Amino acid sequence: MALIDPFGRAITYLRLSVTERCNLRCHYCRKPDDFNEREDDQVLSMAELTRLARLFVELGVERIRLTGGEPLLRQGIVEMVAELTALPGLQEVNLSTNALLLERLAEPLKLAGLGRINVSLDTLRQPTFTQICGAGDPARVVAGIDAAIDVGLAPVKCNMVVMGGVNDDEIGDILNFARQRGVTLRFIETMPIGEAGAQSMSRYIPAQEILSRVSTLLGADLIPATEHRGPGPARYFHIAGSHATVGVISAVSQHFCDSCNRVRLTSEGQLALCLGDVGRVDLRAPLRSGAQDESMKQHILQALAQKPLKHPFDQGGSSGNDMVALGG
């Protein structure tokens, strides 16, 4: 058995959301009035999530990224990392975080076997941080990034969602921050995921414009760096005259659906086959009804047969769950 979708794409990458809870309320990620942050019996236990992850690995998944919400809020996250990294055939376990809790958890996560860390870094300014995230302190994010660097969670990647009239005037500042610390900066287009994401599209700046601004700010050309193509959707560029690179994720203006190699599993056991598609396949029900491993694998394979060819962002986006439920 192998995870091959109806269009011949091999699925080797699982984004595993361990919680919808978050200690920030970023306006492009969830609606301001969404306060559903319970960890109740609808949410899979860490043991259930780990079991499903193991089944995906046995079906051919090579990389797992732990997401949320904010995954560092979930009790047992370090132990889960240790269990996942011990799975035969799994090449990488990585994690996306807002880094508010990373300063104290960086070393335990490293010791548990965690690989790369992706950190959300939309701004370094406190007023703008409050505007975007509703709470929190960018100094704690910086401390988390520095802790990850210090313990060798490499490479550290910082993701900046660029929003016109909100933080686009900080492109140069965050670029300098990333270059000073030797971390990889990736610029992300706003995406119409759920109601919150759809509203954020009024601030949309296409990737080509972002890259043009970067080139102007640096006074250097950006040269496509094909050797940096990884399992994810980012395109990378060398900064001419240096060893530095920047990345861009252009889900709207230049989609990467033809090479999609990923699916997403929510903390409630719903398999999302496409970031922009509202369809979900329930894996929690058979899991909790006592289905054995081989039966669960058949559920996963049958679900994969429903994976669409491409997302609908060019048709107005998704009206389904907000980004907080999908882990990006």
Was 68 annotated as part of a binding site?
no
Residue 75 carries which side chain, given as an amino acid letter?
Q
Is 191 part of any known ligand binding site?
yes
CA separation (Å) from 260 to 4, 160, 256, 263?
Answer: 11, 22, 6, 9
- Residue 274 marked in a binding site: yes
Instruction: Tell me how far CA of residue 182 lies from CA of 13, 28, 116, 269, 282, in angstroms.
Output: 26, 27, 14, 37, 41
Residue 69 marked in a binding site:
yes
Containing 224, the helix (H) or strand (E) segment is: strand 222-224
Residue 289 is labelled as binding a ligand: no
Going by their DSSP bridges, the two strands 13-17 and 222-224 should be labelled as: unpaired
Where would I find the H helices in the chain? 46-58, 77-85, 102-112, 126-133, 138-151, 171-181, 194-200, 207-218, 284-288, 293-304
Check the annotation: does 260 bind a ligand.
yes
Spatial contact of 44 and 81, defined as CB atoms under 8 Å apart: no
Compute the distance between CA of residue 66 and CA of residue 154 in angstroms, rounded to an integer: 16
CA–CA distance, 323 with 28 (Å, rounded to integer): 8
Q: Residue 98: left (phi > 0), alpha (psi -120 to 50), or beta?
A: alpha
Residue 28 annotated as binding? yes
Tokens of 102: 């990373």
Q: Is 133 annotated as a binding residue?
A: no
In whole angstroms, what is the distance from residue 260 CA to residue 232 CA?
A: 8
Q: Is 158 annotated as a binding residue?
A: no
Do the Cβ atoms of 193 and 161 come closer than 8 Å? no
Residue 236 known to bind ligand: no
Binding residues for GTP: 15, 65, 96, 157, 262-264
Binding residues for [4Fe-4S] cluster: 22, 26, 29, 257, 260, 274
Binding residues for S-adenosyl-L-methionine: 28, 69, 120, 191
Binding residues: 15, 22, 26, 28-29, 65, 69, 96, 120, 157, 191, 257, 260, 262-264, 274
